[in-house]
Amino acid sequence: MDMTEAIVFAGSAIGAGLAMIAGIGPGIGEGYAVGKACEAIARQPEASGAVTRTMFVGCAVAESTGIYGLIIALLLMFLKPFT
């Protein structure tokens, strides 16, 4: 591995790590959504089916930014587009 390649690889690895910071947002958002869903079910247990379904869909939508980060990280780590 020559110097240029090594620098590019190191940059890709650091970039992948930075891309995964995107995981913070969905983590906070989904935690908040699940907490609210728990409150809703505690208040109205008969609506638990609808609440759970809505919560999962909302979580999936909130998760997508994190997934974009994950895709970028995987691209940088394994497909190495810049080498």
Partner 1 sequence: MAIPKFLTGSEELSVSGPKIITSFQIGGVTINFTETIVLEWLVMAVILFTAWFLTRNMKVKGISKRQVLAEWAVEALTNLVRDTMGKRWLKFTPYIATVFSFSIFGSLLSLTGLRAVTSDFSVLVSWAFITFVLITATKIRFGGVGGYLKGFLDPVPVMLPLNILSEVATPTALALRHFGNIAGGGVIMALIYYGLTGASHALGLDIPILTVGIPAVFSLYFDLFSDFMQAFIFCMLTMVFISNAGPAEDET
By the criterion CB under 8 A, which residues form the site for partner 1? 53, 56-57, 60-61, 63-64, 67-68, 70-71, 74, 77-79
Say how far apart CA 50 and CA 46 lie, in whole Å. Answer: 9
* Residue placing its CB nearer to partner 1 in the complex, 36 or 80: 80
- Residue 83's contacts (CB-CB under 8 Å, 6 or more residues apart) are 5, 8, 9, 12
Task: Tell which residue, 71, 57, 53, 65, has the closest CA to residue 27.
Answer: 65
> What is the identity of the amino acid at 24?
I
Closer of 36 and 53 to partner 1 (Cβ): 53
Q: How far is the CB of 33 from partner 1 (least distance, A)?
A: 14
Tell the smallest beta-carbon distance from residue 37 to partner 1 (Å): 15
Of 6 and 61, the one with the shorter C-beta distance to partner 1 is: 61
